[in-house]
Structure 1
Amino acid sequence: MTVDLALVLALLLAAVAMFALNRPRMDVVGLLMIVALPLTGVITAPEALAGFADPSIVLIAALFVIGEALVRTGVAQRLGDLLITRAGHNETRLIVLLMILVAGVGSVMSSTGVVAIFIPVVLRVARSAGIAPARLLMPLSVAALISGMMTLVATAPNLVVHAELRRHGLDGFGFFAFSPFGLPILALAIVYMLFARRLLAPGSGAEAGTTRRRRPRLAEWIEDYALEKREYRLRLPPGSPLAGQMLRALDLRATAGVNIIAIERGPRFGRRLIRPLAETVLEAGDVLMLDVFRPQVTIEDVTGLYGLERLPLTGRYFADRRQEIGLAEVMVPATSRLLGKTVVEARFRTTHDLAVIGLRHGRKAMAEDVLNRPLAAGDTLLVAGPWRAIRKIQEDLADLVVLALPVEVDDVLPAGNRAPFALGILALVIALMVGGVVPNVIAALIGCLLLGLFGCIDMTHAYRAIHWQSLVLIVGMLPFSLALQKTGGIALAADGFIALFGEAGPRLALAALFALTAGLGLFISNTATAVLMAPVALAIAGEMGLSPYPFAMTVALAASTAFMTPVSSPVNTLVVGPGNYRFMDFVKVGVPLSVLTLVAAVLLVPLVLPFSP
């Protein structure tokens, strides 16, 4: 082993360790590798930065925009309504149709985005049908992962493998090259989940599905999040020391441990809610809605210190004021910039114009110190504020995903009347890609421009839709392929692999390659796994004198086989909280399914992509 190879492998091991620990963020790890690799002298700075000009990176960014347009125009919501109409309350039919629908939608957009869109749909279906959400959310995540096996653009690992083939001077995969494998594996997974769902009940999430069979009411959230212990309405009498004071000067959050959610002002009849801004001056007669978030502070302390009069706060109050103040349950996804931050540190109120009044971590509602608890993926927040602010976070799935809105309000789509245009443009993009009329990246960019032209998405939301973390991660890991090639690392890995499995035949080699790729995906993202394993797969094929296509396809399929743990993929992480899943739920359902997928891939891949060069 040369010194250069040792340096590259040390950096690679460091990256894998940071991915496994999730510290720092994945995109930061990618940037670190872009900086560190040229310092070894193995590759140049332009070579390390070449990924930013890779057509696959631009294509992935464009697909994020197309997916966002499908959300804004209500295409996904209409599909959910169709699911409810067709399946009714039949659980078997729901699972079958849900998995087919999710896999179909996921074949043309990000699987993580698909899950974020369909979680609220599935929860609504589960409530209306009286089914435990856990029995539907696991099939949802499985179908979303399998959707990556459907088409070339379904998931980033497919495009990474495709790009690696092109870099070796080979023809890449066609748009539907993955479908002969994805469709049978989807059918197998549907049958498997119809039996495996029994492993998820009644322990996981059964309570949520059986205790509430309809959309929630505002009064129910008061009880669910223990708001009666923290939320209060207090009248400010003329003699209160708060009268005439500006909120900025009072700084009640820091000095008294309370957060003002809203202020009622005006005559008894015709009172209005005003937003509590830093420059707002309190007036005698105002009614303050307060959140007491500091555990050591009691409502008696607050009323006694400031001479306030306590008023009742019930679910009926929220219902009566529903036109002015809204509530929503939102979830923190795995891609959120809020992860690891407290509500205060994230400046949640300033950024989203919403107050966090409840926090649920897993199954447990936090009754104290809600604003100072670091947020984790899957946490559920109850937010209060103007409906326009709630609708705004419905449009942007990057940081928060709206799980449920109360019966007091109907969803409003920002571009609902543009759904036919979005579907037509999506069909055009697919036709251009399938027909090979223009390069895939140009087809996707044409679609983005048309979506903007017909009002399906604007530039602001288009830029927000792009998951920059994923793009930087891919760009940061791409130089490893070149560095390992220059130092002989890939040839060394291929020789070691052949020494172990070369004599056993090509099918066993495919099985070992699949297992290695899927196993590596337990610790790092499936995109990073594809970046590392694609050149190794091509080198193995070259050493064995076989066609590179079955080996490349095996890596792509294995990269999407991330069923085994809740941290194997952001897709799994998203459903943990809403489904009340435990770690072992994924193990006992995902491991057998991964083995079945391995067997199916080893049997199918050589039939469609022969070993002969």
Structure 2
Amino acid sequence: MSLQLIWVLALLATAVGLFVINRPRMDVVALLVMVALPLSGVLNVQESLAGFADPNVILIAALFVIGEGLVRTGVAYRIGEWLTRRAGSSETRLLVLLMLAVAGLGSVMSSTGVVAIFIPVVLSIAARLHVSPRRLMMPLSFAGLISGMLTLVATAPNVVVHSELVREGSKGFGFFSFTPFGLVVLVLGVGYMLVARRWLGDDDGDDSQSVKRRTLGDLIRDYQLAGRERRLRIRPDSQLVGMSLADVELRARAGTNVVAIERMVHFRLKILTPSANIVLHAGDVLLVDIYGERSDLLGMYHEFGLEPLSLQGDYFTERAHEVGMAEVTLPPESALLGKSVRDLEFRSQFGLNVVGLRRNREALVEGLLEAKLKVGDTLLVIGDWKEIRQLQARSRDFLVLSLPAEVDEAAPAASQAPHALFSLAVMVILMVSGLVPNVMAALIACLLMGAFRCIDMDSAYRSIHWQSLLLIVGMLPFALALQKTGGITLAVNGLVGVLGGAGPYAILASLFVLTAVIGLFISNTATAVLMAPVAIATAKALGASPEAFAMIVALAASAAFMTPISSPVNTLVLGPGRYRFADFVKVGVPFTILVMIVSVVLVPWLLPL
């Protein structure tokens, strides 16, 4: 074993350890790897940065944009509405349709995004059917994971494994190469969850309020916001005219939160999202939340030159099409736990305002901005519906737990839903036909969605999960470093030496187990980057089909059913489903074993060794 190989293995072990403790963030670790490998002389700079030129990285980014287009046009939510109508009052029919819908939608967009979309839908249906969300949330997450086994573009590990095959001289996988395996696993998963849901039991006590999909009025009542709302016009002589919100400092000076601004633009009323640098005009109408102790409201109006206006109906419901609310909770691994609401800087970072906090189901009225956040706290945020939906993509630090019923009427590009579906169909047809490379098909679909105004540039950029892309780019050099230093050869020789006499089935099973176990500690994308070269080299050493061995790694990378931290999809449903760690072990481990058996049997049959 050379010194360079020892260094690469030590660096790999360090990176895995940092992934496990999540300090620093995974994308930062990936960048550190990209710097360490060329500085140590294992790779040159071009080899270390080659991932940025990989077409599959662009493909994954384009798929994030396409998924966002389906959300903005309301396609995903309409599927949820269809699910509600078709399920009727049958829990069994609901579970089957739910898993089929999530798996189908997840086969062409991010499974994490699909699950985030369906969480409030499932909570609403569970409340209507008087069914515990514990019996539905885990089937939801399992379907999201299984969706990664249905198409080439369903999940990043599939694209990574395909890319490694092409790099080794193989033609790689087609768009539907994964589909036969995924369909069998999906049918198996539906049948398994119809039985396993009984192991999850029901909630202790009556949690009907927590599973009900609320309206804006419900949220106002639960967070005790009634009476705090005001609608104030800026008079021409006001000192606020020409000042930015950051300079005004209404929050610090008057205990007042500006949550929206009405402004006449070209004789049309527009609702503006407040930001620190927005400049106030005479005639602007501020929709504000007065959360501080303020007994002298008239004095405040006089001081700032504000004219109070009537506000009909409930709190901001008259502007529900433009201004929305959502409940947000912090998952256990969120980096924001222990920070105060003021420290979050929601307005500057996310374009949203925090107007409420509940702890142990009780609204915290006093000291809202200074309260240190704990696991289980829920925040009420208010702002543009577009920004609220963007918050769903930040699944690592936030979970949008509940969207009010009014969101169904607030898809910013709902009229463009047919065009979004057309763009998606064009991408699939181009990929299946092979007329253009996959990355070009995805980029064409993105351009079509932009041309049809299904998505704008700002939303497109925000939809891309840059952390995932940097993780892939940073981990790709490891495969080349292990190859150059003899690490892959060493791993293959050890695997063949120990199990070569047992036959290819035993080696396929071992590769599945090894990939699934590594995936318990690091992301499935990073696992695929590490294991794909080992699997392909093992196949060549045995004179077997590289496609079969690569397929085993791809299927195992998606089989992250065993723990709530194996995949972001599982983490998303942990809170809404009120699961314990042991619940995933109890249900996920047997299913992973079933998936392994099915994979080891099907792969050699459909992809002959």
Task: Indicate the TM-score class for this superposition, using the shorter chain for normalisation.
Answer: 0.7 to 0.9
CA distance in 2, matches of 1:109, 1:52: 22
Contact 1:112 1:570 survives alignment (8 Å): yes
CA displacement at 1:322 relative to structure 2: 2.0
Query: What does the per-residue CA deviation read over 1:452-490, in whole Å, with 9 as the maximum and x for residues that have no partner?
Result: 112211222112211111111100000000000000011
Are residues 104 and 84 of structure 1, via their aligned partners in 2, closer, same or farther at CA, if it must alter by over 3 Å?
same
- Please list, as runs of the form range in 1=range in 2, the aligned pairs for 1:346-495 lying within 5 A after superposition: 346-359=344-357, 370-372=368-370, 380-385=378-383, 389-394=384-389, 397-399=392-394, 402-407=400-405, 410-495=408-493
Deviates more, 1:165-174 or 1:535-544: 535-544
Q: Report the residue type matching 2:317 in the other structure.
A: R
1:521 to 495, 519, 522: 519
Are residues 362 and 65 of structure 1, via their aligned partners in 2, closer, same or farther at CA, if it must alter by over 3 Å?
farther
CA displacement at 1:41 relative to structure 2: 0.4
CA distance in 2, matches of 1:276, 1:150: 42
CA displacement at 1:128 relative to structure 2: 2.6
CA distance in 1, matches of 2:564, 2:189: 18
Q: Percent identity?
A: 56
CA displacement at 1:16 relative to structure 2: 0.6
Corresponding residue of 1:594: 592
Contact 2:329 2:400 survives alignment (8 Å): no
Provide TM-score, normalisation by structure 1. Answer: 0.83
Contact 1:137 1:579 survives alignment (8 Å): yes
Q: Report the residue type matching 2:469 in the other structure.
A: L
CA distance in 1, matches of 2:546, 2:359: 46
- Please list, as runs of the form range in 1=range in 2, the aligned pairs for 1:145-544 lying within 5 A after superposition: 145-203=145-203, 207-208=206-207, 210-211=208-209, 215-222=213-220, 224-225=222-223, 260=257, 289-291=289-291, 319=314, 321-324=316-319, 328-331=325-328, 339=336, 342-359=340-357, 370-372=368-370, 380-385=378-383, 389-394=384-389, 397-399=392-394, 402-407=400-405, 410-544=408-542
Q: Report the residue type matching 1:45 in the other structure.
A: V
CA distance in 1, matches of 2:407, 2:43: 57
CA distance in 2, matches of 1:424, 1:335: 39
CA displacement at 1:193 relative to structure 2: 0.7
Corresponding residue of 1:67: 67
Q: Report the residue type matching 1:69 in the other structure.
A: G
Q: Report the residue type matching 1:472 in the other structure.
A: L
Corresponding residue of 1:269: none
Query: What does the per-residue CA deviation read over 1:252-284, in whole Å, with 9 as the maximum and x for residues that have no partner?
Result: 86689x56467999xxxxxxx999998989xxx
1:562 to 547, 560, 563: 560
- Root-mean-square deviation (CA, aligned residues, Å) is 3.7
CA distance in 2, matches of 1:592, 1:80: 29
Contact 1:379 1:577 survives alignment (8 Å): no
CA displacement at 1:600 relative to structure 2: 1.1
SS in 1 for 2:342: coil
Q: Report the residue type matching 2:494 in the other structure.
A: G
CA distance in 2, matches of 1:199, 1:362: 27
CA distance in 2, matches of 1:463, 1:562: 28
SS in 1 for 2:317: coil
Are residues 264 and 469 of structure 1, via their aligned partners in 2, closer, same or farther at CA, if it must alter by over 3 Å?
closer
- Please list, as runs of the form range in 1=range in 2, the aligned pairs for 1:35-114 lying within 5 A after superposition: 35-114=35-114
CA distance in 2, matches of 1:263, 1:433: 44
Contact 1:119 1:403 survives alignment (8 Å): yes
CA displacement at 1:180 relative to structure 2: 1.2
Q: Report the residue type matching 2:487 in the other structure.
A: G
Are residues 165 and 244 of structure 1, via their aligned partners in 2, closer, same or farther at CA, if it must alter by over 3 Å?
closer
CA distance in 2, matches of 1:449, 1:161: 27
SS in 2 for 1:567: coil
Contact 1:338 1:375 survives alignment (8 Å): no
Are residues 358 and 133 of structure 1, via their aligned partners in 2, closer, same or farther at CA, if it must alter by over 3 Å?
farther
Q: Report the residue type matching 1:438 in the other structure.
A: V
CA distance in 2, matches of 1:318, 1:497: 70
Q: Report the residue type matching 1:566 in the other structure.
A: P
SS in 2 for 1:319: coil
CA distance in 2, matches of 1:392, 1:160: 31
SS in 2 for 1:579: coil
CA distance in 2, matches of 1:215, 1:139: 20
Contact 2:393 2:463 survives alignment (8 Å): yes
Are residues 306 and 39 of structure 1, via their aligned partners in 2, closer, same or farther at CA, if it must alter by over 3 Å?
farther
Are residues 132 and 227 of structure 1, via their aligned partners in 2, closer, same or farther at CA, if it must alter by over 3 Å?
farther
Contact 2:328 2:402 survives alignment (8 Å): no
SS in 2 for 1:331: strand
Q: Report the residue type matching 2:145 in the other structure.
A: L
Query: What does the per-residue CA deviation read over 1:480-520, in whole Å, with 9 as the maximum and x for residues that have no partner?
Result: 00000000011111122223322222111111111110110
CA displacement at 1:362 relative to structure 2: 9.1
Q: Report the residue type matching 2:203 in the other structure.
A: G
Corresponding residue of 2:144: 144
Q: Report the residue type matching 2:77 in the other structure.
A: Q
SS in 1 for 2:314: helix
CA displacement at 1:523 relative to structure 2: 0.6
CA distance in 2, matches of 1:23, 1:119: 28
CA distance in 2, matches of 1:280, 1:450: 37
Corresponding residue of 1:121: 121
CA displacement at 1:125 relative to structure 2: 2.1
Are residues 396 and 460 of structure 1, via their aligned partners in 2, closer, same or farther at CA, if it must alter by over 3 Å?
farther
Corresponding residue of 2:4: 4
Corresponding residue of 2:265: none
CA distance in 2, matches of 1:541, 1:306: 79
CA distance in 1, matches of 2:411, 2:533: 44
Q: Report the residue type matching 2:547 in the other structure.
A: Y
Runs of 5+ consecutive residues of structure 1 not aligned to the other structure? 237-242, 266-272, 293-298, 309-315
Contact 1:378 1:578 survives alignment (8 Å): no
CA distance in 1, matches of 2:571, 2:420: 29
Contact 1:55 1:441 survives alignment (8 Å): yes
Are residues 364 and 33 of structure 1, via their aligned partners in 2, closer, same or farther at CA, if it must alter by over 3 Å?
farther
SS in 2 for 1:19: helix
SS in 1 for 2:318: coil
Q: Report the residue type matching 1:78 in the other structure.
A: R
Corresponding residue of 1:15: 15
SS in 2 for 1:578: coil
CA displacement at 1:212 relative to structure 2: 6.5
CA distance in 2, matches of 1:355, 1:499: 60
